[in-house]
Amino acid sequence: MEIVKLIELLVSLFPFKIKEGKMGTDWSPLWISLKTSILSTIITFVIGIFVSYIMANYRGKWKGLIDGLFTLPLILPPTVVGFFLLLLCGKNGFIGKFR
């Protein structure tokens, strides 16, 4: 629940609601995109710093595999990752079977 409160706080920091009359300019899609990109950047930055600290100090036998998993999004195109997630999470996939 703490994460939800944090996200609500971060979203409330951007109270942009600009709309004009009929046929006027509607800036809400731009503001939604900016809010989403800023919020996702902040969340990714915090998680990335945390995970990098853990991986820098981790000395287990799975370090290479875990490091490879974190590197995959940099190597593979998004469509390949999306297709893999569909296979993994689909109703016949490994994770999807447990739903």
Tokens of 59: 């000395």
pLDDT of residue 61: 92
**Which class for 45: exposed (0-12), middle (13-18), buried (19 or more C-beta within 10 A)?**
exposed
% of residues, the chain, pLDDT over 90: 29
Q: Which residue has the higher pLDDT, 9 or 65?
A: 65
pLDDT of residue 15: 61
pLDDT of residue 25: 63
Nearest to 52 by CA among 44, 60, 40, 61: 44
CA distance readout (Å), 25 to 14, 33, 43: 19, 16, 31
Tokens of 91: 């109703």
Q: pLDDT by residue (tens digit) across 27-62? A: 778 888 988 999 999 999 999 999 999 999 999 999
pLDDT of residue 18: 52
- As a whole number, mean pLDDT of residues 68-81 equals 86
Q: Which residue has the higher pLDDT, 7 or 22?
A: 7
